[in-house]
Amino acid sequence: MTQSRASQVSLDDTPYYHCICRCVRRAFLCGIDHYSGHDYEHRRQWVVDRLAILAEVFAIDLCAYAVMFNHYHLVLRIDRDSALSWSDDEVVARWTSIFSGHILVDRWRSGAADPAEACRAQEMIGLWRQRLFDLGWFMKCLNEYLARKANEEDQCKGRFWEGRYRSQALLDEKALLSCMAYVDLNPVRAGMADRPEDAEYTSLQQRSQALRSANATGEPSLPRLLPFVDAQQIETPDNRTLCRVRLLDYLQLVDATGRAVRAGKRGTISAQAADLLQRLNIDERAWLRHMAPRRQRIPLAMGSLARLKAFAAATGRCWVAGQSLASGLG
């Protein structure tokens, strides 16, 4: 039975979520349709451009993304604390940058509203604030925009996406890293690129380009990515970083995992990545088994066994799938 999105998102357990959305039937998000011969490759930029806008409006950070032929992957971090700290004027400015405002809010900001109108305007601003860190509203603003644009280009009507987006809670650092690596390796596994840094319209290529060129991070067409820690940074609760892992360590981890999984040789993982796995207390065999291509429905959440049980209790469930795998990941 379809479950409400509210029952699948628990910000008290984790701010990190993996989202997947797939096109309906044979619709192409991007790439070349070999049946009709139409080239939809330009639609990749649509996704990236829209993500760049939404990342600046919402209190939701982009950790990883990959735009495939008929679906896309996102790893997102919901920053509720930032949204709650915004002033009312900032909430209004962010909301009205992509949506229409309201006359009562305009009257309240100009000082012309009476007490009843001011109270109603405050209620509306509070609702907008809640929506600006809501995962469902972020995905709505992305998917509806893409669907309308694609249908207009195709001169057709109807559904463009096969259904609601799927979300997966990432309950700890190990789950976050493994999911990000899975997303960044998707184009390699699909045969779209030989190396992950060569796969276009992916977060790993964007991070790799930023390392090679300081100008890459300033391009307006690229969405803002939540950074990894750097070598000199001291971790504090207020740091807006992904996790304790440095970017270079993560790139080594992705590269080694990709080569190991593609070749089917679990003992060929590099020494640098093995050190990282040991530092995070991740079993190497469990990691590679988890990173293998997935043929079944993704579990609702990823994380340690204890975190999975806590997430199940917080979302009103007796259990969540993936507990046998979680026991191997610690």
* pLDDT value at residue 209: 82
d(CA 300, CA 65): 19
Note the pLDDT of residue 218.
47
Single-letter amino acid code for the residue at 158: G
Residues 183 and 170: their CA atoms lie apart, in Å, by 13
Report pLDDT for 210: 80
Q: What pLDDT sits at residue 237?
A: 44
Predicted confidence at residue 172, as pLDDT, reads: 86
Task: Supply the pLDDT for residue 195.
Answer: 78
- Looking at residue 150, its pLDDT comes to 87
- Whole-number pLDDT of residue 328: 52
> Helix, strand, coil % (nearest 5) of the chain?
50, 10, 40
Single pTM value for the model? 0.78
* Per-residue model confidence (pLDDT) at position 16: 94
pLDDT for 236: 41
CA distances (Å), origin 246, targets 150, 167, 171, 243, 253: 38, 26, 20, 8, 11
pLDDT of residue 173: 87
Residue 224 and residue 12: Cα distance in Å, rounded? 25
Closest CA to 74 of 201, 219, 220: 201
10-residue mean pLDDT series, the chain (330 residues): 66 91 73 70 89 95 92 94 95 95 92 91 96 95 92 84 87 89 87 81 88 55 84 48 78 78 45 57 63 59 70 66 54
Beta-strand pair 60-67/71-78: antiparallel
- Polymer length of the chain: 330
Q: Is residue 29 within 8 Å of residue 69, measured between CB atoms?
A: yes
Give the pLDDT of residue 11. 86
Which amino acid is residue 202, in one-letter code?
Answer: T
